[in-house]
Amino acid sequence: MVQRLFLGQTLFFGEAFILPFLFGASLGGLAWRCQEKLKQSRDTLNDSVVIQTTLMENLSAGVMIIEPSTRKIEYVNETAALLFGADKDSLIGNQCYSFLCPAQEEHCPIYDLDHDIDKSEVEMLGIDGSTRQVIKSVKRIRIKGQEKLLECFIDITEKKQIKAALDKSERYYRLLAENVDDVLWKADLDLNFTYVSPSVKKLQGYTFEEFVQLPFDQMVTPESYAFALQRLEKEIGCDEDPETVKDRSVLLDLDMMHKDGRIIPVEIKASFLRDKAGLLTGVIGITRDISERKKIEKESLNAKKEWERTFDAVSDLIAIIDKNYKILRVNKAMADRLGLSQEEVEGMLCYNVIHGEDKPPEHCPHTRILSNPEEITVERSFNWHDPQFHLALKLLKIFRRTAVL
């Protein structure tokens, strides 16, 4: 029977033997000490089991133990159960093939096909039939002299989905970059280019490899180079101001150099790149060829100048007046007749300068033309600088304005 003996402050457990009485106290004491050591070993073993179980249940990796001959699941930790979408008890005792593993019976990659699976990306099945992407390792182990398969796996389904989405996005933007005329680029703060889209070949005649090796001062005219550096320094300087908008964009018109020496006018829209701390790390931008736009602007300017020359060369008096009686433009003959410069007349009210009135007179032909889209011709006498000035007026609507001829 078990007895408890207190010797000092130490509690001993042991069998009450008759041996002390037969062989002396020394042999009896040895028996008691052996029983105490055995108790301590059992307690240590139990503590070790508790620690190992706790660790297994709290690992971030899924763990299963499979009996290889029957392919039955003998142990599943909590992480594995969550991964497969089931509780542990519903998994234990099931065969792993066609259940959690896509492999069919007698086609186990490890036990039947002798494959080595160590940190391999494989598919596993959820309890609902869904597939999960995992990194899996399988080892042959022995428990109580019997061979088992220890499977460990980490779920990477979400990471694979994110990667697939990123790959799709990358393919889309690569396709976009390769098929637009605009040039997409990235550079550091010293304007050393680290990326440029293939369309740079069409714009400037350079390949990607040639362009990223080219100094910025050889890409643009000297005037554009100085202007770009000045603007970059200004933007970097004002970025230290807390009131400055951090995600701002900048528009620049520069003259870039083609590989064959031609000058190409471009419009650049650029923004800053930043690190996690918000500090500037580089520049990203889009360069667009505006040669055609510049050509049209030049033609429009020339046409405007030609029209102004023609307008001022007409000897008849001409004024363009809006619906509020404001004079928008007069030709030189009209301004001379009023005794004012063209700049002085423009912006004045017609009834002030022509009629000498504070409001439109009752007979004002301008009022009539606003309500009648047809051309009107009237003859009136005006008291300008001459005592009597007789003028024939022809009025017509043009571009929602009134032209007085």
d(CA 328, CA 350): 10
Would you say residue 398 has pLDDT above 70? Answer: no
- The residue that leads in pLDDT, 311 or 393, is 311
pLDDT of residue 190: 92
How high is the pLDDT of residue 363? 73
Structure tokens at 8: 């000092």
To 10 degrees, the CA torsion angle through 69, 72, 75, 77?
A: 130
Q: Copy the structure tokens of residue 337.
A: 């007749």
Q: What is the pLDDT of residue 98?
A: 61
pLDDT for residue 16 is more than 50: no
Question: Average pLDDT in the 21-25 region?
Answer: 47
Give me the pLDDT at residue 144, please: 83
Number of other residues whose CB lies within 10 A of the CB of residue 251: 8
More confident residue, 270 or 245: 270
Range 201-219 average pLDDT? 93
Average the pLDDT over each of 22-31, 75-84, 134-143 and give the range with the smallest value.
22-31
Quick check: 315 pLDDT over 50? yes
Average pLDDT of the chain to the nearest whole number: 77
Instruction: Give the integer Cα–Cα distance in Å for 282 and 272.
Output: 6
* Helix residue spans in 196-348 (DSSP H): 200-204, 208-212, 222-238, 291-313, 332-338, 342-345
Per-residue model confidence (pLDDT) at position 404 = 46
150-159 own/partner pairs: CB under 8 Å, 24+ apart: 150/63, 150/64, 150/65, 151/62, 151/63, 151/64, 151/65, 151/66, 152/61, 152/62, 152/63, 153/61, 153/62, 153/80, 153/83, 153/124, 154/60, 154/61, 154/62, 155/62, 155/83, 156/121, 157/132, 157/133
Q: Compute the average pLDDT of residues 365-388.
A: 57
Please give the residue that has the higher pLDDT: either 188 or 89. Answer: 188
Q: pLDDT higher for 356 or 290? A: 290
pLDDT at residue 99 greater than cutoff 80: no
Residue pLDDT, tens place only, 132-164: 888 888 888 888 888 888 888 888 888 888 888
Instruction: Say what the pLDDT of residue 55 is.
Output: 60
User: Per the CATH hierarchy, to which homologous superfamily does domain 314-404 belong?
Assistant: PAS domain (3.30.450.20)
Inform me whether the pLDDT recorded for 131 exceeds 90.
no
* 183-188 and 193-196 beta bridge pairing: antiparallel
* 378, 393 contact by CB (below 8 A): yes
- Fold: same for 180-292 and 314-404: yes
pLDDT for res 107: 63
Highest mean pLDDT of the ranges 72-76, 164-168, 200-204: 200-204
30-44, 87-101, 361-375: least confidently modelled range: 30-44
Question: What's residue 23's pLDDT?
Answer: 46
49 versus 298: the higher-pLDDT residue is: 298
Supply the pLDDT for residue 216: 95
Phi/psi of residue 313, each to 5°?
-80, -15
pLDDT score at 4: 44
pLDDT computed for residue 57 by the predictor: 62
Domain spanning 59-159 has what CATH number? 3.30.450.20
Q: How far, in Å, CA of 312 to CA of 276, rounded? A: 62
Report whether CATH 3.30.450.20 matches the domain 180-292: yes
Torsion angle of alpha carbons 89, 93, 98, 99, nearest 10°? 0
The mean pLDDT of 156-176, rounded to a whole number, is: 79
Choice between 306 and 405, residue whose per-residue pLDDT is larger: 306
d(CA 260, CA 254): 18
Q: How confident is the model at residue 231 (pLDDT cuts 50, 70, 90)?
A: very high
pLDDT for res 13: 43
Q: Are 397 and 378 in contact (CB under 8 A)?
A: no
308-315: average pLDDT: 84
Q: Biggest alpha carbon distance in the chain?
A: 161
pTM exceeds cut of 0.85: no
The structural domains of the chain, with segments of one domain joined by +, span 2-56, 59-159, 180-292, 314-404
- As given in the structure block, the two tokens for residue 211 are 């362009």
Alpha helices in 64-212 (DSSP H): 78-84, 88-91, 157-179, 200-204, 208-212
With 70 as the cut, is the pLDDT of residue 109 above it? no
Instruction: Provide the pLDDT for residue 220.
Output: 96
pLDDT at 192: 94
